[in-house]
Amino acid sequence: MGFRVYQLGELFGIILLLGSTAMQMFYLDPLKREIEWRLAAFSNQQSAQVEIKAIYDSRIILLQALNAPADKIAAAESAREESLNRFKTADANISDFMIAKESVEDNLQYIVMVLFAIGTLLAGFGRVMEMRAHRN
């Protein structure tokens, strides 16, 4: 017993549905989670960056108010710059990741939607043709 063309279309449609679901589950959802985690880390980093800057600024102001030696004030300013530069590198790394992955995520979402739509249409068409064949 051979397959009819519409039955092969229905089978191909089901394969497309399964493929789009698998792409959604095994690649797109983990990618979204990773992006969300990195955004959360970025938010925490931004808060920490503001706090560290405020702490060092307070320390420098306190040292100046106590007429501390210039080398102690310079050391505190140097430590502040060093700490803030580490955050700038991390900020750049996160933004580079986000820029690189945003287009990938968008394209994969379009592919999943197209595969799902075509698969649904083919499977539905196959079912309609099967019902028509049984009616005749």
Single-letter amino acid, residue 91? D
Task: Report the residue count for the chain.
Answer: 136
pLDDT, averaged per 10 consecutive residues of the chain (136 residues), comes to: 77 89 88 86 85 92 90 92 82 77 85 90 86 82
What is the pLDDT at residue 124?
87
For residue 81, the model assigns a pLDDT of: 92
- What's the pLDDT at 24? 87
Give the DSSP letter of residue 68: -
Cβ atoms of 8 and 129 closer than 8 Å: no
What pLDDT score was predicted for residue 105? 84
pLDDT score recorded for residue 1: 56
Angle between helices 29-65 and 70-135 (to 10 degrees): 170
